[in-house]
Amino acid sequence: MDQTQAVRGIHFVKVSDYTSFDAEYALVGVDIVIHLFQPHDGAHGRNFWCNTLPEILDRHAREFWEETYPRLQAAYTPELDSWWFRAFGFAYQGLPHERVHKFLEGLDTKIDDVLRKPSC
């Protein structure tokens, strides 16, 4: 008798509507998981992607979800050159797909605002 059990994959929804990143998200139990990827042209550069983006993501996430760690967590994933973000317990509130899109739209706007500022 085979005792193995199939592991059910997570279905990520790809989102490419934004100017400053590509994304995918999934509802995992009661959590929202988001992966952020650099635009294909890598226009923002490594310093922005590794240093500036996490600051913007952190500030925006705390404002948008009105929460902090441990309910909000993010980490860089080097093997995918992406950022992983998880909002624990938010997939059951309201309309989660719409909230994710509003979150991503706001993040895109904040990133664009930073990129438009003169560097000197």
Residue 58 predicted with pLDDT over 80: yes
Which residues lie closer than 8 Å to 51 by C-beta, 6 or more apart?
Answer: none
Closest Cα to residue 108, out of 10, 5, 15, 12?
Answer: 15
In the chain, the amino acid numbered 13 is: V
Q: What is the pTM of this model?
A: 0.86
Q: Say how far apart CA 16 and CA 9 lie, in whole Å.
A: 22
Instruction: Among 3.30.420, 2.30.30, 3.40.50, 3.30.1460, name the CATH number for the domain at 13-115.
Output: 3.30.1460
Write out pLDDT tens, residues 63-105: 999 999 999 999 999 998 899 999 999 998 889 999 999 999 9
Q: What is the residue extent of each domain of the chain?
A: 13-115
